Amino acid sequence: MLNKLIYALTFVSLFASSITWAEDDSEQRFRQARSPQITAIQIKQFFLDPSIDVREALARNRKLKSVDLFHLASDTSETVRIAVATNLSTDSKTFLLLAKDSSSAVRSVVARFEYVPAEVLAVLAKDSSADIRLEVARNLNALEGTLKVLLKDSDPDVQAIATQALQRLKSEQ
């Protein structure tokens, strides 16, 4: 009986320490993914990391190259794709990919992002969601041509915000 108890306690102790080790390892990978000194090898490893938090930290790393951000823009996690959308190193090609994302939450973040290129807003002005088109009309980067498209929108709220944005543009000229 005593041997079974010792065995059970040893097993529980090993299990608890393996959980702690896994958490420590995840925390270490998280820190490495955020690091400006991240290596190309680490980036490739973190693309496949099982932790969404690690992949999100990687997607927020402004030292990543455009090709790496483009890869992460297709991640299975919406959270990771949103992190790519708000990374200041994200380029137009990646924004265009995100503008066609299946998740309206991702497209909404792209439409609201203050550094999104105007060409991406032009694509989002034709989005199936009125909420996304409304965000485009509110975005200060929307060009006159995009706002004119939104003036003819089927949603009256989008039309109203586009009208206001065009008035703002004219007053700034």
In this predicted structure, the answer to whether residue 21 has a pLDDT above a threshold of 70 is no
Read off φ and ψ for residue 113, nearest 5 degrees: -65, 130
**What does the pLDDT look like over 28-46, one tens digit per residue?**
999 999 999 999 999 999 9
- Of 148, 114, 107, 113, nearest to 130 by C-alpha is 107
**What does the pLDDT look like over 80-124, one tens digit per residue?**
999 999 999 999 999 999 999 999 999 999 999 999 999 999 999
Place of tokens 């925390």: 27
Least confident range from 8-22, 80-94, 108-122, 152-166: namely 8-22
